Amino acid sequence: MASVRHLVPAGLEVDSFDRQTWIGVVPFRMEGVMVRGLPDVPWISAFPELNVRLYVTRGGKPGVWFLSLDASNPVAVWVARRVFHLPYEHARMKVDLSQAGVEYWSARRRPPAAFEATFRPTSPVREPARGSLEHWLTERYCFYALDGRGRLLRGDVHHRAWPLQSAEAEIRRNAMLEVHGVSIHDAKPLLHFARRLDMVAWAPTRVGRAAH
């Protein structure tokens, strides 16, 4: 945990499971993204996204701290930066479905980062068992962020339990962590697949002041 402590604001604690913390690299495709009261616009409401997250807690409320979020839609990037105060970056991205599974490709120029992999589910759908590592990773109903004045924010989210499947992947390139000074070359990845998860998010509100 000490190796990632400097990546998290002082107002948050790095969370752990069996004395270990985890870094999530989560590629997926967003669909039906909209502001309440406005229509679902295909070009704006559906796009690939890739986030890199740490698992944190504050006052007993577990959540996630995003190191980065890449998206192919520049409008979504602009809105998320200003409304949710999250470190979104614009990237060139492509997602294809094939017999081999999901082909995922992402490349960001500034700061440089890239991800390329093929992944597929290998088991039936299951709900994470309470007390398991899967439950610890996925049962998180908020994210934390910093606004432009260094104030700590919390955004609440709501979703059902993740419909998880075991997965396998051929990761041809994962350069999403080096930009943050993190190296996991000797670590064996834990892989999960979820075909769909519906989620609602609220704009973050202030919970305190934090400083690195």
Q: Answer whether residue 7 shows pLDDT above 60.
A: yes
> What per-residue confidence (pLDDT) applies to 44?
59
> What per-residue confidence (pLDDT) applies to 111?
87
pLDDT in tens, 74-87: 988 998 899 899 99
> What per-residue confidence (pLDDT) applies to 33?
52
pTM for the model: 0.90
Rounded CA-CA distance 151/128 in Å is 34
In the chain, what are the domain boundaries?
Answer: 5-207
Rounded CA-CA distance 3/183 in Å is 10
- DSSP codes of every residue in the chain: -TTTGGGS-TTSEE--BTTB--EEEEEEEE-S---TTS---HHHH-EEEEEEEEEEEETTEEEEEEEEEEES-HHHHHHHHHHT---EEE-EEEEEEETTEEEEEEEETTTTEEEEEEEEE-S--BPPPTTSHHHHHH---EEEEE-TTSEEEEEEEEEPPP-EEEEEEEEEEE-SSGGGT---TTPPPP-EEES---EEE---EEEEE---
Please provide the CATH number assigned to the domain covering 5-207: 2.40.400.10
Arithmetic mean of pLDDT, 32-61: 74
Q: Answer whether residue 13 shows pLDDT above 50.
A: yes
> What per-residue confidence (pLDDT) applies to 203?
86
Arithmetic mean of pLDDT, 111-124: 95
pLDDT band at residue 210, thresholds of 50, 70 and 90?
A: low
Residues in the chain: 212
pLDDT-above-70 percentage for the chain:
90
pLDDT in tens, 152-189: 999 999 999 999 999 999 999 999 999 998 887 677 89
